[in-house]
Structure 1
């Protein structure tokens, strides 16, 4: 096991009827900016509940944060927060809204061009504190310090993180996910699954706790993900999936073990250029990525085959084949396609995707930092 430092200060309030506790989590004298996405939180009554919980606070609202949040929208929220002298942010929504809120939190006090936070890795010296009310379990952003932001004008989708960008608290009420459409439920399952894979399916590090924890998360997603599509208001299913998505990317299973993230980097370019949902891009890339890199991932692929998919018969190569195919079938069973053709993206799109990777410096990816542009090209071709 590698050396590691694990730190996660986010306070989790999990379960039903936790929204009224909001007032105790926010400084009494703070001017609060509520951030959210589309109109669903108003239609479902969540926004009204939040406002009721914040009775007595000075509250400003900013809606319209997109899936794959854009710099162009978020900078409007930054300007509003500065004008209104906001001292606390409250994100109400899924991972995209939370990611966007992290950028807003860092950008409000930032002295220079806020885009430099992403494009130049400019130093973040302070951030406005924030909390979250999760309505769409998927990204784990409610309990980590990272975010991914898109700039439409330049087709850039870039990640950043900072210790100041952990939420102060996150309210996780599984009933808030009852009204999600099937596509978002499926996307959430795929997203969490690939988050686990990026931290687990690398090479052995004799990290038994992390491996077993990761395998348990994967097994829960495989068992409960398809059921949730059939029973969207089953509390037990929703609760387990919400907590899995949070635990998949709160730093715990990735501590002390090698991390990959190449699938995410290739997926980001698909989203930036072609507008795929984040989870759709991951479902397309992961099976092809595992096939192309089966040699360097051999030992963990065999472990994954045995412990997650219960594949113990046949020779090694056959079991790896089956494990990759089971992964693909799982995504497809959730109605998330695993080939670019399903999204009307042909092989003629690959050169532009490769150009994007090169422009963003994504030329030495993976747990060994040796996965080259040519490898990425093979993945895109195999995923076509």
Structure 2
């Protein structure tokens, strides 16, 4: 197991009917900016409950944070934070709203050009202050409710933002707030969480037994509850297990002391940016093909994944690995998500655009070992086509 430090300060408030506790969780003197996306949180009554829970505090609202939150939209909220002297941010929504709120928290007190905050990749931002923030999660998927990272869309692509100052102070996770989600968003959430685990688990062995067993437990849970919660949207137990799985997939715990990949995410970001497909859809396309091309590099962990997650124990090593890849693709498809580029109307020649974007964004040495060049990325994309 590799050396690691681990600290996660986010207070999780999990379960039914917890929004009234906002009155105890948010500082009494806070001037709060409540941020959300479209009108769904208003239509389903969540926003009203949030505002009621905030009691008599001064509250300002900011809506319109889009999927794949846009830099220009977020800068409008930054101006509100500054002009209204906002001192607490509350994100009400899914990963995009939470990610956008994290960027706003960093950018509002920042004295330089805010675009500079998008230039640090996975390194910590050079900031010494951020506006305190918290979340009310309405979509189980990204894990942003319990980590310090965000992904922001800018004209130069989808860019990560990371800082320990961006951990939510608390996050309310009420599974009932997700009951009204469209099925496509639930399916996307299952796949997003699933691939988050895979990127930290299917790399190479370092004898991290606790992390491996926890990762396998999350994967098996998602396989079990994913179809159930799609078929039964108000099955509380299934939705609760999905929600906690998504949070646990990216709150840092299973990722300590182990190598990370994230190649599927990096290529997937380009697909989302270029073709507008949902983030999880891009992951479902790339992950099986990446394994097919890279299975020699990941052989040991793919065999472990095959046996421990899919109960595959018969056949040659290659047969077991191939079966695990096929079963992963079939799982994604069973949730109603397509897994081929051709199924989204993308032409074969568009692969060149993706490779060009990867090169432009410096994604020329991907994978847990840093040896996945653009030639290999092209092979993955060609395999993912049909």
Q: What is the TM-score with the length of structure 1 in the denominator? A: 0.98
Deviation at 1:333, TM superposition (A): 0.3
Following TM superposition, the consecutive aligned residue runs of length 4 or more in structure 1 with deviations greater than 2 angstroms are 119-122
Q: CA offsets, 1:20-60, max 9 Å, x none?
A: 11121111111100000000000110000011011210000
Return the alpha-carbon distance in structure 1 between the equivalents of residues 33 and 134 of structure 2.
Answer: 11
Deviation at 1:120, TM superposition (A): 4.8
Matches within 5 A, 1:150-189: 150-151=153-154, 154-189=155-190
CA contact (8 A) 1:155 1:273 kept: no
Return the alpha-carbon distance in structure 1 between the equivalents of residues 165 and 201 of structure 2.
Answer: 26
CA contact (8 A) 2:193 2:245 kept: yes
Tell me the SS of whatever aligns to 1:59.
strand
Q: CA offsets, 1:302-347, max 9 Å, x none?
A: 0001011111111010111100000000000001110011111122
Tell me the SS of whatever aligns to 2:138.
strand
Aligned to 2:146: 143
Q: What is the TM-score with the length of structure 2 in the denominator? A: 0.98
Matches within 5 A, 1:1-384: 1-120=1-120, 123-151=126-154, 154-384=155-385
The number of equivalent residue pairs is 382
CA contact (8 A) 1:264 1:282 kept: yes
Tell me the SS of whatever aligns to 1:171.
strand
Return the alpha-carbon distance in structure 2 between the equivalents of residues 346 and 309 of structure 1.
Answer: 33
CA contact (8 A) 1:195 1:248 kept: yes
Deviation at 1:125, TM superposition (A): 2.1
| Structure 1: unaligned runs, 5 residues or longer | none
CA contact (8 A) 2:365 2:373 kept: yes
Call closer, same or farther: CA 1:271–1:155 in 2, change over 3 Å: farther
Deviation at 1:201, TM superposition (A): 0.2
Deviation at 1:155, TM superposition (A): 4.7
CA contact (8 A) 2:26 2:54 kept: no
Call closer, same or farther: CA 1:340–1:155 in 2, change over 3 Å: farther
Tell me the SS of whatever aligns to 1:115.
helix
Return the alpha-carbon distance in structure 1 between the equivalents of residues 137 and 84 of structure 2.
Answer: 25
Deviation at 1:350, TM superposition (A): 1.1
Return the alpha-carbon distance in structure 1 between the equivalents of residues 274 and 27 of structure 2.
Answer: 41
Q: CA offsets, 1:37-87, max 9 Å, x none?
A: 000000110000011011210000000101111111111111111111100
Return the alpha-carbon distance in structure 1 between the equivalents of residues 203 and 180 of structure 2.
Answer: 36
Return the alpha-carbon distance in structure 2 between the equivalents of residues 280 and 82 of structure 1.
Answer: 37
Return the alpha-carbon distance in structure 2 between the equivalents of residues 281 and 113 of structure 1.
Answer: 31
Return the alpha-carbon distance in structure 2 between the equivalents of residues 112 and 343 of structure 1.
Answer: 40
Larger CA deviation: 178-187 vs 354-363: 354-363
Return the alpha-carbon distance in structure 2 between the equivalents of residues 76 and 367 of structure 1.
Answer: 37
CA contact (8 A) 1:71 1:150 kept: yes
CA contact (8 A) 1:34 1:90 kept: yes
Return the alpha-carbon distance in structure 1 between the equivalents of residues 23 and 276 of structure 2.
Answer: 38
Tell me the SS of whatever aligns to 1:65.
coil
Return the alpha-carbon distance in structure 1 between the equivalents of residues 24 and 35 of structure 2.
Answer: 19
Larger CA deviation: 361-370 vs 89-98: 361-370
CA contact (8 A) 1:155 1:272 kept: no
